[in-house]
Amino acid sequence: MDYGIPCLLAAGLNGFWTVILIIAAVLFVGVGVIVVAVYWNLWFQAYMSRANISLLSLIGMTFRQVDAKTIVRGKIMSIQAGIGSEKETRITTERLEAHYLAGGSVPNVITALIASHRADIDLDFDRAAAIDLAGRDVLEAVQTSVYPKVIDCPDPKKSHRTTLSAIAKNGVELKVRARVTVRTNISRLIGGATEETIIARVGEGIITSIGSSETHLVVMENPESISRAVLSRGLDAQTAFEIVSIDIADIDVGENIGARLQADQAEADTRVAQARAEERRAMAMAREQEMKATVARNRAKVVLAEAEVPMAMAAAFREGNLEAAPSRGGK
């Protein structure tokens, strides 16, 4: 029996599968080389830093369109800074990826957490991520909480006015420029009012305090009283900042508004009096004309009455009702 052909077929099949296995091995080795070339450096950095990021996680970040370098550096920074373990801080690889995919800034959040940890400020990852996603610069917020900043009232960058105008009870105008020192209140940063609200409230408080002063001299002698009065009102309520101090940087005397208003009022009263006098004069002239008309009417009545006397006498002669007067000598 001839076994040559089956042997040849078996040898051919074995050769085919051998080629397939060789190709698969080459592809596997090639993929492995590519993976090692791309991810080895990041994985080794994470491994040496005890960042607990697996090679599969790095590969999955590529498919999820996450910048692996950003995640690895953030994780390494949190571990090396001594913030705490992954269980304590809850800064896991998955949560960092989620924050990145949500549009947040992972470096800002990690840096803010490190700064708050060094400054002994109560700030966890959840709150920092929420502040970052809300559009606030969480790193700047922490820095401002550690190192307060000074804002001008009014702010010349946001308003065409450079001073606040306030009037004391004696009517004298005072032009004031204040400087407000604030620091961030992390607990009220989400939902709290911004710097514009602080500036508006401080300006309102300064104007009210000056307006309640008896004279402008009291304010000029003791500007600190205005600062203390404004600071005691709790103007930073429901805002993202805490007011540290309010300082009057400049104060100038303006116009005497009270005197000007009194002059304007006197002029207005004069015009009203003149108008009333003119009204009375016009009424007197009208009354005079009415009296003249009445006199003329009465004279016309007298003339008419005098004209009726001869007519009455003639009628009396005709009727014989009128007798001649007797002479003085006759009886």
**Residue 193 DSSP label:** B
Pairing verdict, β 172-184 and 149-153: antiparallel
pLDDT in tens, 290-299: 888 888 888 8
Q: Is a pLDDT exceeding 70 seen at residue 327?
A: no
Cα separation, 52 vs 87, in Å, equals 12
Predicted confidence band of residue 32 (pLDDT cuts 50, 70, 90): low
Q: Is a pLDDT exceeding 60 seen at residue 123?
A: yes
pLDDT in tens, 76-91: 888 888 887 777 888 8
Domain boundaries, the chain: 18-144, 148-316
Find all residues with CB under 8 Å of 246, minimum gap 6, and list them.
178, 179, 180, 181, 202, 227, 230, 231
Dihedral Cα 130, 132, 136, 137, nearest 10 deg:
140
Phi, psi (degrees; rounded to nearest 5) at 237: -65, 135
Cα separation, 238 vs 174, in Å, equals 30
pLDDT in tens, 38-50: 677 888 888 888 8
Residue showing tokens 């402008």 = 216
Average pLDDT, the chain: 81
Residue 204 vs residues 140, 175, 211, 259: alpha-carbon distances, Å: 27, 13, 10, 24
More confident residue, 11 or 240: 240
Average pLDDT over residues 308-315: 77
Average pLDDT over residues 7-27: 60
Cα separation, 247 vs 127, in Å, equals 33
What Rg value do the Cα atoms of the chain yield, rounded? 52
Least confident of 64-68, 155-159, 207-211, 215-219: 155-159
Q: Is a pLDDT exceeding 60 seen at residue 11?
A: no
Q: Is a pLDDT exceeding 80 seen at residue 138?
A: yes
pLDDT in tens, 169-183: 888 888 888 888 888
Q: Is a pLDDT exceeding 80 seen at residue 198?
A: yes
The pLDDT value given to residue 1: 44
pLDDT in tens, 93-118: 899 999 999 999 999 999 999 988 88
Least confident of 91-95, 180-184, 301-305, 319-323: 319-323
Q: What CATH class is the domain 148-316? A: alpha beta
The pLDDT value given to residue 311: 78
pLDDT in tens, 59-71: 888 888 888 889 8
Predicted confidence band of residue 9 (pLDDT cuts 50, 70, 90): very low
pLDDT in tens, 139-158: 888 888 888 888 888 888 77
Cα separation, 139 vs 106, in Å, equals 11
The pLDDT value given to residue 108: 92
pLDDT in tens, 221-249: 888 888 888 888 888 888 888 888 888 88
The pLDDT value given to residue 26: 63
